[in-house]
């Protein structure tokens, strides 16, 4: 056990990661040595930042907490603290079931941990984060909460109503991170396109992205988690015209059947979704679209699933993720619908959908062979440098592999790369001279 050392373990999404990075920096400012996602936590204190979105994520979080409590009982860890979405949602139940945890914090009161350790949260250094990502890119959280209330989603129960940060506050953080060497920003929120409605009375995501793009030193901006209803069309002009705004949009569509979308309380239908995709691609030629789809939601029969497959074939998404519906306690769907699709059928449909997308992805990637693309280098791995194009977000999207025999490349630098080969997901390239 290492004295004055704290291990932070982050589970779940990149929004949680931002909170962990802020906590790590505040602990460091107070004299602690902090590690992140250690395979073998050896500090006196371990803090678990939990996810509570779906059943699998909840189970992973609980298992991690139990594992660390066992380490505490064996004397390998002195204290265990828990924060994040799971404890925000089930704090009372967790406290009763796992009393070995020294204290539970929610998603928004984690700053109290500093006080409980006898330390001070330094507000004047709130923009400082100890990045857990490579130093050239960072996630930028522009809001918290969600006002959409989709039937299947527990996020509003966890995070509450949408709360936008001010444009000035976000730009100040970007300027600070640029001074620290960050070149690429992944804009994240529970719902990106709602940004500004609560604070300014209108959607301000286009203005925000434009303001960030004007900060000297910002090389790439990438947008995650847009919503299809009331899409802010002015955003497309910014994506099209600003050179440092990547031609990339992550927009979760969930389904295409009007019947299923209505059951999901998505407030959009099949025809509107097709029109949305067509208009985005028309206004921003070459844009890469990433989406997330759900199978097995109540009301999805074979006909509705066939609709979904046909939509995927038509849309040819550059990137697509999918997951099977799981009933979440307290959500409108759990109260209103019976979880009528069996787990076996859900998994069959999920496998079928992802197999379909695998073929589409291979086709999309093959079309890039012979092209020269701008690539940022993330790391060296074995005999390859590993990088990404503007069409690829870290962790979730395909990568570009460049043989080290091409010469020495620097992490965080951009290179023109000729794509010479592809597989179902990744690209292979060589430096273009």
What string of DSSP letters covers 44-63? EEEEEEE--SSHHHHHHHHH
pLDDT at 1: 61
Ramachandran region, residue 118 (left: φ > 0; alpha: ψ -120 to 50; beta: rest): left
Return d(Cα 18, Cα 181) in angstroms, integer.
Answer: 17
pLDDT at 343: 96
The bridge status of strand 372-381 relative to strand 414-422 is antiparallel
* Under 8 Å between Cβ of 87 and 106: yes
277 is written with which tokens?
């995709």
Return d(Cα 344, Cα 329) in angstroms, integer.
Answer: 21
Instruction: Render pLDDT for 358-369 as a digit per residue (tens, 0 to 9).
Output: 999 999 999 999
Return d(Cα 205, Cα 184) in angstroms, integer.
Answer: 18
* Under 8 Å between Cβ of 192 and 186: no
Return d(Cα 315, Cα 291) in angstroms, integer.
Answer: 10
3-class SS of residue 224: strand
Count of positions (residues) in the chain: 433
Instruction: Render pLDDT for 160-202 as a digit per residue (tens, 0 to 9).
Output: 999 999 999 999 999 999 999 999 999 999 999 999 999 999 9
Instruction: Render pLDDT for 24-63 as a digit per residue (tens, 0 to 9).
Output: 999 999 999 999 988 888 889 999 999 987 788 889 999 9
- What's the whole-model pTM score? 0.94
Q: What does the DSSP assignment read for 269-313? A: -HHHHHHHHHHHHHHSTT-EEEEEEEE--TT--HHHHHHHHHHHH
Mean pLDDT across the chain? 95
Return d(Cα 217, Cα 175) in angstroms, integer.
Answer: 9
Task: Give the other-Cβ count within 10 Å of 243's Cβ.
Answer: 8
Please give the backbone phi and psi of residue 194, each rounded to the nearest 5 degrees, phi first. Answer: -80, -10
65 is written with which tokens?
């907490």
pLDDT at 406: 86
Instruction: Render pLDDT for 122-147 as a digit per residue (tens, 0 to 9).
Output: 989 988 999 999 999 999 999 999 99
pLDDT at 43: 85
Instruction: Render pLDDT for 7-29 as a digit per residue (tens, 0 to 9).
Output: 999 998 899 999 999 999 999 99
């Amino acid at each position: 056990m290492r004295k004055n050392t704290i291990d932070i373990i982050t589970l779940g999404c990149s929004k949680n990661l931002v909170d962990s990075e802020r906590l790590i920096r505040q602990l460091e400012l107070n004299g602690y040595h902090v590690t992140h996602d250690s395979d073998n936590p050896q500090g006196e204190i371990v803090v678990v930042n939990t996810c509570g979105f779906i059943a699998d994520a909840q189970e992973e979080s609980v298992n991690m907490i139990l594992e660390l409590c066992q380490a505490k009982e064996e004397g390998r860890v002195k204290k265990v603290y828990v924060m994040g979405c799971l404890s925000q949602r089930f704090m009372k139940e967790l406290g009763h079931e796992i009393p070995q945890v020294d204290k539970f914090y929610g998603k928004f009161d984690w700053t109290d941990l500093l006080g409980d350790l006898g330390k001070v949260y330094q507000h004047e250094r709130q923009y400082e984060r100890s990045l857990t990502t490579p130093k050239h890119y960072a996630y930028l959280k522009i809001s918290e909460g969600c006002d959409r209330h989709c039937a299947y989603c527990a996020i509003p129960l966890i995070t509450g109503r949408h709360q936008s940060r001010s444009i000035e506050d976000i730009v100040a953080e970007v300027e600070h991170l640029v001074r620290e060497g960050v070149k690429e920003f992944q804009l994240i929120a529970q719902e990106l396109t709602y940004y500004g409605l609560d604070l300014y009375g209108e959607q301000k995501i286009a203005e925000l992205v434009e303001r960030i793009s004007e900060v000297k030193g910002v090389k790439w901006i990438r947008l995650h988690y847009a919503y299809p209803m009331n899409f802010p069309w002015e955003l497309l002009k910014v994506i099209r015209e600003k050179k440092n705004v990547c031609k990339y949009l992550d927009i979760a569509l969930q389904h295409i059947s009007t019947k299923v979308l209505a059951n999901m309380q998505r407030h959009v239908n099949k025809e509107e979704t097709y029109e949305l995709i067509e208009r985005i691609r028309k206004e921003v030629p070459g844009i890469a679209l990433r989406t997330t789809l759900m199978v097995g939601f109540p009301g999805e029969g074979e006909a509705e699933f066939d609709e979904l497959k046909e939509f995927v074939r038509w849309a040819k998404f550059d990137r697509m993720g999918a997951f099977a519906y799981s009933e979440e306690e307290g959500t409108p769907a759990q109260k209103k619908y019976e979880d009528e699709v069996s787990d076996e059928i859900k998994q069959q449909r999920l496998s079928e959908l992802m197999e379909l997308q695998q073929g589409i992805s291979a086709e999309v990637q093959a079309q890039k062979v012979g092209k020269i693309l701008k690539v940022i280098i993330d790391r060296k791995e074995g005999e390859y440098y590993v990088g990404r194009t503007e069409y690829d977000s870290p962790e979730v999207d395909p990568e570009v592999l460049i043989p080290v025999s091409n010469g020495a490349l620097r992490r965080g630098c951009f290179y023109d790369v000729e794509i010479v080969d592809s597989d179902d997901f990744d690209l292979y390239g060589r430096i273009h001279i």
